[in-house]
Amino acid sequence: METRNVGHSDLVVSVAGLGCNNFGMRADEARTAEIVNAAIDAGINFFDTARSYGGGQSEQFLGSALGKRRSDVVIATKFGSPTGPDDRNGSRDTVMTQVEESLTALGSDYIDLYQLHFTDARTPIQETLEALNDLVTQGKVRYIGCSNFTGWQIADADWIAETQGLAHFVSLQNEWSLLARGIETEVLGACERFGLGVLPYFPLASGVLTGKVKRGEAPPEGSRLNAPYFAAYLNDVNHTKVEKLEAWTAEHGRSLTEVALSYLASNPLTASVIAGATSPEQVAANAAATKTDLTAEERAELATLVA
């Protein structure tokens, strides 16, 4: 398994990561342990979770599954998932409260990468950065990152960190896939300019880029594509894009899943591709399919197909 540094940090992560959003929701504690063990066996050392996943159980199940192997892996978690329109999810109080909850749930005295889950228009980013800097100084957090940021927000946060002598964000976690390429417009450029490693989530568009759901067919029972939020991926535009991609993969002797994951992993700005899993077999398959051998020309071809 190839490894990369997360931005300008010394965090070394596997290019295939494991998203832990299913833990505590679609995977109980026993199944979580099976998935985590399979991930480690496949060479994955990067686990991404959040305080809000599974009502807090994701962190708890992950920490329990890792046990004494904690120091062998890199754990990223997130704070500040808003619960209402007036929630100050980036406030100092939120940072300080939720970091203690995460440390307790994970059974760890430090977090490798602590990320602001969503931007907070009600709290100045300087307040958030000052609180996070204190956690880095205290040794509770090694590095900090952001999630769901725009290009200008990345630039703004970096300028404040630089001028105020605070810890900088080293990573960005945004949605990115062959069906959701919005970050390619300006956000990737901001990450390159300010040294942030990219951690794409929903790289398979919640399963649409596996090719298992065809036009006019209902999603398999138990698939999250049955939920209204994710069902939005199932539309004629995306089905047409998937069909074009399937034709390309057939010509090049690759699977659709492999191309979807490798399109992201082959970009040098990507640190680790975060794919979720609900079974040991799925995490092993995703790890094997995450390759870095697509050329810039091939990535441009694929981008043209889904433009």
Average pLDDT, the chain: 95
CATH of region 3-305, choose from 3.20.20.100, 3.40.50.720, 3.30.70.3150, 3.30.1330.10: 3.20.20.100
**Which residues are annotated as catalytic?**
53
Q: How far apart are CA 202 and CA 42, in angstroms?
A: 20
Q: How far apart are CA 48 and CA 115, in angstroms?
A: 10
Tokens at 132, concatenated: 């996070």
pLDDT higher than threshold 70 for residue 226: no
Q: What is the mean pLDDT of residues 144-169?
A: 98
Q: What is the mean pLDDT of residues 260-285?
A: 97
Q: How far apart are CA 296 and CA 200, in angstroms?
A: 18
Residue 12 is predicted with a pLDDT of 98
Tokens at 244, concatenated: 């074009």
Let me know: does 192 contact 184? Beta carbons within 8 Å.
no
Q: Where are the domains of the chain?
A: 3-305
Smallest CA-to-CA distance from 47 within 25, 3, 14 is with 14
Q: Map residue 192 onto helix, strand or coil.
A: helix
pTM of the model: 0.94
pLDDT higher than threshold 80 for residue 220: no
The 10s digit of each residue's pLDDT in 64-114 is: 999 999 999 999 999 999 888 788 999 999 999 999 999 999 999 999 999
CB-CB neighbours of 71 under 10 Å: 8
Q: 73: which strand partners?
A: none
The 10s digit of each residue's pLDDT in 233-248 is: 888 899 999 999 999 9
Q: Rounded to the nearest 10 degrees, what angle do helices 151-164 and 125-138 cross at?
A: 60
User: Given the DSSP bridges, would you call strands 3-5 and 12-14 parallel, antiparallel or unpaired?
Assistant: antiparallel
